[in-house]
Structure 1
Amino acid sequence: MSSTDGAAPPPEVMSIASPINLVLFSVFALLVYMQFRPKAPATLPKAPPPVVFRTFTPKTLLEFNGENDKPVYLAVRGRVFDVSPGRNFYGPGGPYENFAGRDASRGLAFQSFDREMLTEDLSAPLDDLKDLNTDQLENLQGWEERFSEKYLVVGKLVAEGDPDAPKS
């Protein structure tokens, strides 16, 4: 047959190395590389310094009132809680700032955040809370449970002169 008799021209053989195939292969190779390339190691945020359980007296607890970027601690019935995550409430300028660095037991029992609820003489024996009535003890118990659920216990509070008291 001749090419002049109106028959269709012979089909052209497509090459594997056609431009479109090269572009598709390049995109595929790039996607595979992006998926399996070495990833930068994940960097974790710096952990806070470890908190060591320690014994406090009213005088040594006082410095943990949140000023000068110090942690905020307060004591309830002899247990010292790190309330630093609640710095907006317990730290400087917060509504409960009077309790920062102090034994807050009596104030919490009375639902009073006034300074009169705080022990003025830091060398005196700890408040034994024996004069509290049932409602006040329940208030205190509720606060203590809330603190236990929410904050870390970082120490215990003892009176000045107690055998467990830290030596100055």
Structure 2
Amino acid sequence: MADTPATVIAPTLPLPEATHAASVFTPINFILLSVFAVIVYLRLKPSGPQTLPRAPPPTVFRTFTPPSLFPYNGLNNMPVYLAVRGRIFDVTSGRNFYGPGGPYANFAGRDASRGLACGSFDEDMLTKDLDGPLDTLEDLDSEQREALRGWEERFEEKYLIVGKLVPVGSPEADDTKA
């Protein structure tokens, strides 16, 4: 036999099926695209109309007597006022100090002059008789007067003056009732 080259027949393997083109619309891409769309919408959507906070009610300078000042002690949602040397300060913004429960709460709605001058928060420093005369502070020594001036300057810098304190029965007090 003649040497004839043997033909080797290789077994035929099945060819892989045609691969599908990679799709862009996979579930993860859909989720990412959705999140991106939501973020873009939230950034670009028009916001609602801007509203300014309500202005506080106007404060009118008025004349107080000790009894008419007393309700302004921060209770029952009232503002907090206190008097220093005849001038009434609105200390409502310092309610945590001068309002109910604060360290200076006994001065709220009262003349705080003597207590501030003497550096005392005791009830003894307050005028007990609201219908009586105002405290003239004549018996204060120079150091106490200086302390009171310091307190008064601090209040002037920080708080609005809303009125003045006059004794009960004064002509100015009578004019405010009319």
TM-score normalised by the chain length of structure 2 = 0.72
Q: Measure the CA separation in 1 of the matches of 2:134 and 2:54.
A: 38
**What corresponds to 2:112 in structure 1?**
104
Which protein has the larger Cα radius of gyration, Structure 1 or Structure 2? 2
**What corresponds to 1:167 in structure 2?**
177
**What corresponds to 2:127 in structure 1?**
119
Structure 1 unmatched runs, 5+: 1-29
Within the alignment, does 1:89 sit opposite 2:97 as a pair? yes
Equivalent position SS for 1:139: helix
Within the alignment, does 1:67 sit opposite 2:75 as a pair? yes
Q: Measure the CA separation in 2 of the matches of 1:51 and 1:138.
A: 30
Can you list the C-alpha shifts for 1:28-62, whole angstroms capped at 9, x where unaligned?
A: xx9xxx5xx97644211111111111100000000
Q: Give runs of aligned pairs for residues 15-94 of structure 1, distance below 5 A.
A: 34=44, 40-94=48-102
**What corresponds to 2:163 in structure 1?**
155
Equivalent position SS for 1:51: coil
- After TM superposition, where is structure 1 displaced by more than 3 Å over at least 4 residues in a row? 37-41
Q: Measure the CA separation in 2 of the matches of 1:120 and 1:40.
A: 55
Shift of 1:142: 0.3
Tell me the number of residue pairs that the alignment of Structure 1 and Structure 2 aligns: 137
TM-score normalised by the chain length of structure 1 = 0.76
Can you list the C-alpha shifts for 1:68-100, whole angstroms capped at 9, x where unaligned?
A: 110000000000000000101111111111000
Q: Measure the CA separation in 2 of the matches of 1:90 and 1:96.
A: 5
Can you list the C-alpha shifts for 1:6-26, whole angstroms capped at 9, x where unaligned?
A: xxxxxxxxxxxxxxxxxxxxx
Structure 2 unmatched runs, 5+: 1-39
